[in-house]
Structure 1
């Protein structure tokens, strides 16, 4: 995977920090819960090859997946910034600093707050949404987003294998959208991929 060296070096540093932090911290809220590199690389390829231009990410954490998505948007010259939502203001500050370090801050609009409330207020349209936060509220977020999705849209959700019970309702809702083709990719914690054309 060829990323700009400054971005690749930063991501490898953040990946190591995330593994160390998550092994040490017992409380879920204090964990980074970053994407596995294999999943992040797949996201990058899907966004770049599909030439996605109006993206929404639900669950920023400290910005690892955000960096990958922003790098993909930069690679295709997308004009619209990625919108990324995070509930935790401390993690959002970390993401902001990491995006600055990676030279991608201008490619992302960070929004702090409850994802469901924010999704309800966003105007759209979006041609790609990455769900990587609370899996139980994802079906409601998807319902709110449906009228704001472009006809050709890509829906991505992490943790499809690691938390199958929690994500089952989201998967059922995504696969019930008319015209959707979907699959579960056994990479990392499991990536659910749904595409409507």
Structure 2
């Protein structure tokens, strides 16, 4: 991975801290539930290799995955990612961790309910990473559809760890035209869907 020493140090610290918090927290809301390192690395590769430049993340937590995405935007010369977190304390942690990793200029942390924030955002987005409440993800996807680029990349975590909760989102994506999708067995399961750009006059869409 193309990471600076500052980013690597912060990521390693957050990985250890997240594992400790998640192992001891009795309330799920207190857990950080960060991505596993292999999943984060794959997310970074998907975003950079496809040249994404307008990324939305739903579910910031303390900013672990946002650091990876912000670094990706630095590599692709993209706009700052928009990342949504409903918990004010976690949002504050995310801003601090992004600053410590020296990628704060490549991320905007938005506090609030994800569905309401999705309705208010302008877009366009060429990549959306769903990593929060899987039950409300279909509603968020519906709100975002008019704000997505033609060749949008949709990524969702927890496809294997929470199959019942994510079923509605997967069904919503599968019902959309021109989307190719796959489930990658990394971490808790990463679902990746890509919309083939519309080509006028093409026989196969």
Short-chain TM bin? over 0.9
Q: Pick the structure with greater CA Rg.
A: 2
Number of residue pairs the alignment of both structures matches: 196
2:48 aligned with 1:48: yes
Structure 2 alignment gaps of length 5 or more: 197-205
Q: Bigger CA drift: 171-180 or 33-42?
A: 171-180
Provide the alpha-carbon RMSD of the alignment. 0.6
Cα deviation per residue 1:139-174 (whole Å; 9 max; x = unaligned)? 000000011100010000000000000000101111
Q: TM-score, normalised on structure 2? A: 0.94
Matches within 5 A, 1:28-177: 28-78=28-78, 80-177=79-176
Q: 1:21: how far off?
A: 0.7
In structure 1, the residue matched to 2:9 is 9
Q: Find the aligned partners of 2:173 and 2:12 in 1 and give their Cα distance.
A: 32
Q: 1:121: how far off?
A: 0.8
In structure 1, the residue matched to 2:202 is none
Q: 1:50: how far off?
A: 0.5
Secondary structure at 1:142's aligned position in 2?
A: helix
In structure 2, the residue matched to 1:178 is 177
Q: After the TM superposition, which segments of 4 or more aligned residues of structure 1 sit over 2 Å from their partners?
A: none
Structure 1 alignment gaps of length 5 or more: none
